Amino acid sequence: MYEGVVQRLIDELGLLPGVGPKSAQRIAFHVLAADPVDVKRLAHVLLEVKEKVRFCRICGNVAAEEECRICRDPRRDPHVICVVEESKDVVAIEKTREFRGRYHVLGGAISPIEGVGPDDLRIRELMTRLADGEVTELILATDPNLEGEATATYLARLLKPMGLKVTRLASGLPVGGDLEYADEVTLGRAFEGRRLLDV
């Protein structure tokens, strides 16, 4: 045990995800040895992020203002919405530079075993967004695991009567891998979604 504030710092750091007692101690001593200006900057950013960052009132993505940068951008296609589980997924899709529409962040996936049902996600907000008829296509980009697939199935069933074009991101072989290591489900889906080579 260290004295007073040093131990308190180690205890607080130890509450962070993936930080064990040894790592917390190492980070605490790094902070002790660091330039006071750097430490102040870190403390300031930590406070600022909690004070200023909120969730976009339209799509649920993290935003510095009431609406996020993507929802405010008039160049984005308002007719297509890509539905994702978390804000991290928005960043991953934005990196591809393939998608020019808007997003809707659900805040998770349906997981009955964890007690998370459709009412715990931002599905009601999505339905409100679709009510004015401006959106013509919805891309379901939930994770390609069981919970993500179940969420996509639930949404597809819910949206069917609205007559929208509902699409799901393709599943298949990862680029750069070996076919022999692909599992049966992934390989099966790759066959289902094969495309014509027009050369």
Partner 1 sequence: MRVSLYRDEGVVLRTQKLGEADRIVTILTRRTGRVRAVAKGVRRTSSRFGARLEPFTHVDLQLHAGRSLDVVTQAETLHPYGEALVSDYPRYTSGMAMLETAEKLTSGEKEPALRQFLLLVGGLRTLADGSHDPRLVLDAYFLRSLAVAGYAPSLDKCARCGAEGVRSFAIVTGGMVCGTCRTPGAASPAPPTVALMVALLRGDWDAADASETRHRTECSGLVAAYLQWHLEHGIRSLQHVERV
User: Which residues of the shown chain bind partner 1 in the complex (CB under 8 A)?
Assistant: 18, 110, 112-115, 117, 145-146, 149-150, 153-154, 157, 174, 176-177, 181-186, 188
Tell me the closest approach of the beta carbon of residue 153 to partner 1, in angstroms.
Answer: 5
The SS3 assignment for 44 reads: helix
CB of 157 to partner 1, least distance (A): 6
By beta-carbon proximity to partner 1, the closer residue of 4 and 18 is: 18
148 CB neighbour count, 10 Å cutoff: 22
Min separation Cβ 109 and partner 1, Å: 12
Count other C-beta atoms under 10 Å from residue 141's C-beta.
22
Nearer to partner 1, 13 or 59 (CB): 13
Helices (H), 34-115: 36-52, 69-72, 87-96
7 vs 145, beta carbon nearer partner 1: 145
Report how far residue 137's alpha carbon sits from residue 92's, in angstroms, rounded to the nearest whole number: 20
Q: Provide the minimum distance between the beta carbon of 45 and partner 1 in the complex, in angstroms, as a whole number.
A: 22
**Are 186 and 172 spatial neighbours (Cβ–Cβ below 8 Å)?**
yes
Q: Is 108 left (phi over 0), alpha (psi -120 to 50) or beta?
A: left
Closer by beta carbon to partner 1, 112 or else 133 = 112
